[in-house]
Homo-oligomer: A and B are copies of this chain.
């Protein structure tokens, strides 16, 4: 049952006076539930509970954290079809996507469970003492990752499961040992409440301290600001717009004690089409990319919004084929009227730029909140000189930039903002002749792809989801995969600490049998 209340720790709570409703974009009507915004008092109480919970949760064993994370996954599964229905009613995303995203979310939670259960992630490092060393004896030093403290997680509009309530950021923070305060996304607050109920149930079943998780609602920005400013909050995870992410970053940087903000923000994910590939298979590339541009109504942060190539007959063929292919797709529903409205407005702004030529726009009538996909093209020099053309149009849109020369193409790549991904489309090994383009692209992105599409973010340890600003606010971390836990930990050293009082991971006899760096060597051996 959806109550519309906040979870302040284990308790449902609705002290505030403001309510709002979520929206069903497919039916183009408001959903039935009244969601109550969290009051300042509730925000404070949640933060205080989190700080109190941190005192015990920070040192709970990996095995127990794994039980908690797996229980969350199980409880989400136990919510069954009703959860999928609420998800779809608040996002317009179809049942298949709901199932797929739920599976990914469960997989993430279970992957983090295995990660902290195995235990190598703490990066245990031990340098034993040398009492006889001259001129000074060497002390015993042992280092391990410890959690930062309570973390605020902002739900993302486009991933109600995988990047929201119990999504990647929450799983990473909980795995690290950090209590989580979720600021639920106002577009899918009921989905958020259901998932929160699963987290709370799991916390209770596995004996986690009250306050290890809270879920706070609001339709505006005030609750999020209160959370990020709260002195007991020690870190922030965010997925969304550059404007939103930067605002949170600025807020956190202005605190008396600045805290780290990992915001995964905008990206146009440039795709470079090399000449031979265009010459030999322009049509199949166009077909593949028409699919990637429209996938999920273009509502992925890895959507290919920018395609770059040197002018040639192959490029002309590609452009024509892309125009033909893109309008073959049936328009699909966007997440919310506001997102569809922003798409139309950003698309119009883009298409009205000087020198921009429309290649294709879907022009038939569409249902409410359905997006009309579009592709356009522009000369390299025009692109270089107009920053507006570099901006992301969130939705099924892509811009093809036709360059005069390889040098111009390199200049364009070098002048791009930071991006999540960059893709090289190459025939056989023609890419070896374009190492300058590859270097330039590598310098602007977090992940580079050979002959593929940027959409589809594999969840695995070798994934890097992030990149130079504004792709993310701190390119030194990933938002996807188990290594994203590193955003929420700090290394900590024990000097000459009694063996009995050390964390298990650092004890002489290595009871958890983890891999440790002992005097410079990676080993699972005991210290004798």
Contact = CB atoms under 8 A, between A and B. Distances in A.
Contact of A141 (B142, B257, B462, B491): B462
Nearest to A429: B498
Given A127-B460, A141-B460, A462-B126, A491 B515 contact: no
Given A462-B143, A515-B522, A476 B490 contact: yes
Contacts of A517: 461-462
A172 to B, nearest CB: 13
A306 to B, nearest CB: 18
A374 to B, nearest CB: 27
A244 to B, nearest CB: 15
Copies per complex of this chain: 2
Contacts of A303: none
A449 interface: yes
> Chain A, interface size: which category?
35 or more
A55 interface: yes
B450 A498 contact: yes
A483 B464 CA distance: 20
A456 interface: yes
Contacts of A139: 452, 456, 458
A451 interface: yes
A178 to B, nearest CB: 12
A50 to B, nearest CB: 14
B493 A446 contact: yes
A98 to B, nearest CB: 15
Nearest to A517: B461
A409 interface: no
Interface in A14-69: 55, 59
Contacts of A515: 522
Given A253-B253, A458-B141, A492 B418 contact: no
B260 A442 contact: no
Contacts of A55: 439
A329 interface: no
Nearest to A494: B448
Contacts of A498: 429, 431, 450
Interface string A179-217: 000000000000000000000000000000000000000
A315 interface: no
Given A249-B258, A452-B496, A483 B475 contact: no
Contacts of A501: 431-432, 438
Interface string A120-150: 1000011100000000101101110010110
A204 to B, nearest CB: 24
A507 interface: no
A469 interface: yes
A492 B450 contact: no
A100 B460 CA distance: 46
Contacts of A496: 449-452
Interface in A57-106: 59
A473 B253 CA distance: 10
Given A260-B474, A497-B450, A483 B492 contact: no
Contacts of A138: 458, 460
Contacts of A438: 501
Interface in A429-483: 429, 431-432, 438-439, 442-443, 446-452, 456, 458, 460-464, 466, 468-470, 473-478, 483
A116 interface: no
Contacts of A148: 475-476
A461 B495 contact: no
A462 B253 contact: no
A438 B149 CA distance: 16
Nearest to A56: B439
Nearest to A128: B462
A489 interface: yes
Given A143-B461, A458-B139, A460-B127, A476 B491 contact: yes
5 contacts: A55-B439, A141-B463, A260-B476, A446-B491, A463-B493
Interface of A: 55, 59, 120, 125-127, 136, 138-139, 141-143, 146, 148-149, 249-250, 253, 257-258, 260, 418, 429, 431-432, 438-439, 442-443, 446-452, 456, 458, 460-464, 466, 468-470, 473-478, 483, 486-487, 489-498, 500-501, 515, 517, 520, 522
